[in-house]
Amino acid sequence: MGAIFWFQVLLLLAFLFFGARKGGMCLGLLGGIGLIIFVFGPKPWLGLPPGKPPVDVILTIIAVVAAGATLQASGGLDCMLQVAEKILRNRPKMVTFLAPLVTFTLTILCGTGHTVYTMLPIIYDVAIKTGIRPERPMAASSIAAQMGVICSPVSVACVSMIALMAGHPMANGTEINLLTLMSLTIPAGLIGLLVMATWSNFRGKDLDKDPEFQALIADPEAKKYVYGETLTLLGKKLPAKQWTAMWIFLAVVAVVAMLGAVAEFRPIVGKKPLSMTLVIQMFMFACGAIIVFATGTAPKSIGATPVFRSGMVAVVCVFGVAWMSDTVFKAHLNDLKEVLVEYVKVYPWAYAFVILLVSKLVNSQAAAVATIVPVALAVGTPAGVVVGCSAACYGYYIIPTYPSDLASIEFDRSGTTKIGKFVINHSFILPGLIGVCTATVAGYCMAYLRGWI
């Protein structure tokens, strides 16, 4: 691994870092500039043959996003949120445990952590009026929502992992499908969530003992602002068609999970069961179509939803980042194998550390999976390690720049959820490290016990 390789890697990291700082679609669009430089640049430092974009992953993302956006446009998502709020308000003193569990579950059902935005004002209202330090459930809920991404059968990161793991069996010959992946990521995620919530339940000072908070509410106007008016979906009668949309979506998700678990239910194509990548694409498009016809949802409203907009940003990011990364690493694949195969055998946990850091650089679990998993498998990382450490693909809590973290800060009018003086000492860093590290260790141990490693 000579100077040329490290020059190209540093250049790649520079593009990722700069693109992540600009945010939005810029990360993916910068991939185009990077590709031009890597491909058209002078040899020997540049002039690489172009790699291949992850077409299957991109098409699956589009199908999943289309279904999720249709659910939101139809109002079916509001039904899920109403049920979630009822759970929180029935047991307010348990909000630090229940709120993260609710946001984790909503992400699994909807395939995106962005559903947390609607829950944050409700979580804050329950906490502040119960006398619980809002930082405790707010930070934990933001982290839990993102931890649920790799656990969702309709998330970009999960379907990307399944597509990339095709043809890479575990040590005992087990092929990873949708259900086997979820059977590991969900329990591991719940273990991480429980440990994180337990720690969060005791973090910071109680509000009645916090001098900063008491000084804040000493001003009657500030106190009125902090406690505010109750925001709620309870008591709001939602139209029957919205509930219909929700049940259609959940039913299709259940069918996809069943087809992933039982290969015999899928048609045989070329002596093998139909690829789950294609199954997910077909059923997600069908899900959206059924919701439109069954509920009368206006098709033009689908493209205007936050889920659709954020999903299309993810498509561009994965496209640009993964294509640029594949160009760099594929050109040095033989050298990488020679250097890293033995290292990975001795230190398999290094994979988790690498994908954690990359996910922070690209601010996306799906982009991190699409970038690192193919390289890890190509250099000999055991497939069981890749699957067992799935939770490690979430690392963008390290620096508080992700929208859900920033939204948590904005919705917490008490000021307890915050970014510290040194930036790195913010409300999300410890819950994130505790939750993700615990889930990763739990997932690795479960994979080992199942004979996957």
Three state DSSP letters for 330-384? HHCHHHHHHHHHHHHHHCCCHHHHHHHHHHHHHCCHHHHHHHHHHHHHHCCCCHH
pLDDT confidence of residue 342: 64
d(CA 85, CA 112): 18
SS3 content of the chain, % helix, strand, coil (to 5): 70, 0, 25
- pLDDT < 70 regions, the chain: 1, 20-21, 23-24, 57, 114-115, 118, 229-233, 260-261, 310, 336-345, 361-363, 401, 403, 423
Total domains in the fold of the chain? 1
Range of the domain at 230: 3-42+52-449
399 within a domain of the structure (yes/no)? yes
47 within a domain of the structure (yes/no)? no
261 within a domain of the structure (yes/no)? yes
Report pTM.
Answer: 0.71
d(CA 391, CA 435): 9
292 within a domain of the structure (yes/no)? yes
pLDDT confidence of residue 21: 66
pLDDT confidence of residue 149: 92
pLDDT confidence of residue 205: 93
274 within a domain of the structure (yes/no)? yes
Total residues found in the chain within this entry: 453
pLDDT confidence of residue 146: 93
d(CA 177, CA 9): 32
